[in-house]
Structure 1
Amino acid sequence: MFDVSRVQKELTECNRDKAISGVSIALYEGGSDLSHLRGTITGPVSTPYEGGTFLIDIQLPSGYPFEPPKMQFITKVWHPNISSQNGAICLDILKDQWSPALTLKTALVSLQALLSAPEPDDPQDAVVAKQYLQEYPTFVATARYWTEAFARTSVAIEEKVRRLVEMGFPEDLVKSTLDSVNGDENLALEKLCSS
């Protein structure tokens, strides 16, 4: 079993300066399980990810901090080192370069740095890496489009909530449903109609 007090301390430390660092961590879906967390990182300035808010699923193995956390992007992102299909991440500190001296905040800040400095020669998504290397302007345009479509939450989510509430669904249910489908309005409507 992982060290609960260390994880609690890491959550406090990470969230203390989230306005400055651009990263934060919360319990997943308002639960109480410290082994399943949700990280948030803001897109770095002067990148195609600027203005986006990216959600990361964090699973802590029983051997944490001696084993790395398992992290995966929930928010769809167009990046050579992140799978455009399932959000899997290719980052050395989440694999063989992990050290117990590192923290969840360190890992999230490293993900934020990865958004700024892709490593197309060690890709997770070969299609994106090829585009990055051979058609850079197209890569930038696609990454910006994906950021606008999937990672711009505040205004877009409020608008989606308003539209779904106007259809007669309760606001709390709309928000939780949108959250469960990562802001996809069509999927949320399907779920709302089927429940």
Structure 2
Amino acid sequence: MDSVSRRLLKELRAYEKESRAHPEILELSPETDDDLLVWRAKLAGLPETPYEGGVFDLSITIPRNYPIQPPTIRFITTICHPNVHFKTGEICLDILKTEWSPAWTLQSTILAISLLLSNPEPSSPLNCDAANLLRCDDRLAYDSLVRMYTQLYAVPFEGEKDD
């Protein structure tokens, strides 16, 4: 077993042991049993944010030289956020680019993404429309827009079972 696989299995065990400590992460695991380099995460929208009630799917692709290089993480669920590309789900977050450190884990990175949802950075937008609402200090319009997209794309139907 190579060092990347060992590291990822260690991270998976740590997440499974600590998962109750971070209720915003609903799921974090390899997509299949035979490929440790492709993971999925489910993130719950935090209470008292316009994402509340939403469940957001993320795809995680891990490079072969992880943890030296950061994973590629993107939203699969359509989400309205200044730092998330509306069509591709790409996330603008410094730890996924220039500020990555091998000290970060997949779990801590997903927690940072959760924190980004409630603390957008409109000065480095991938979604200019959402960022402009914040730059114009129109929090009411921003929250309404985010809530609308959360209800349209991220709220499970009544009776829908999660995988």
TM-score under structure 1 normalisation?
A: 0.75
User: What is the Cα-based RMSD across aligned positions, in Å?
Assistant: 1.9
Could you say if the C-alpha distance between residues 156 and 78 of structure 1 is closer, same or farther in structure 2, counting changes exceeding 3 Å?
A: farther
CA contact (8 A) 1:52 1:147 kept: yes
Post-superposition, which runs of at least 4 consecutive aligned residues in structure 1 deviate over 3 A? none
Q: Residues 43-83 of structure 1, C-alpha deviation per residue, up to 9 Å, x if partnerless?
A: 11211011111111000011100000000001111100011
CA contact (8 A) 1:26 1:37 kept: yes
Deviation at 1:19, TM superposition (A): 3.4
- Determine helix, strand or coil for the equivalent of 2:36: coil
1:141 equivalent in alignment to 2:144: yes
Match of 1:55 in 2: 57
Give 5+ residue unaligned stretches, structure 1.
159-174, 180-195
1:41 equivalent in alignment to 2:43: yes
Match of 2:15 in 1: 14
Deviation at 1:31, TM superposition (A): 4.8
CA contact (8 A) 1:2 1:62 kept: no
CA contact (8 A) 1:56 1:73 kept: yes
The match for 1:90 among 89, 92, 101 is 92
2-side partners of 1:125 and 1:45: how far apart? Answer: 23
Could you say which structure has the higher strand fraction?
2
- Determine helix, strand or coil for the equivalent of 1:17: helix
Deviation at 1:2, TM superposition (A): 5.6
TM-score under structure 2 normalisation?
A: 0.89
1-side partners of 2:33 and 2:148: how far apart? Answer: 32
- Corresponding pairs, count: 159
Match of 1:106 in 2: 108
2-side partners of 1:20 and 1:147: how far apart? Answer: 24
Deviation at 1:26, TM superposition (A): 1.8
Deviation at 1:156, TM superposition (A): 6.2
User: Superposed, which structure 2 residues align to 1:120-135 within 5 Å?
Assistant: 120-134=122-136, 135=138
2-side partners of 1:57 and 1:117: how far apart? Answer: 21
Higher relative contact order (CA 8 A, sep 6+): 2
1-side partners of 2:100 and 2:143: how far apart? Answer: 30
Could you say if the C-alpha distance between residues 120 and 51 of structure 1 is closer, same or farther in structure 2, counting changes exceeding 3 Å?
A: same
Give 5+ residue unaligned stretches, structure 2.
none
Residue identity (%):
33
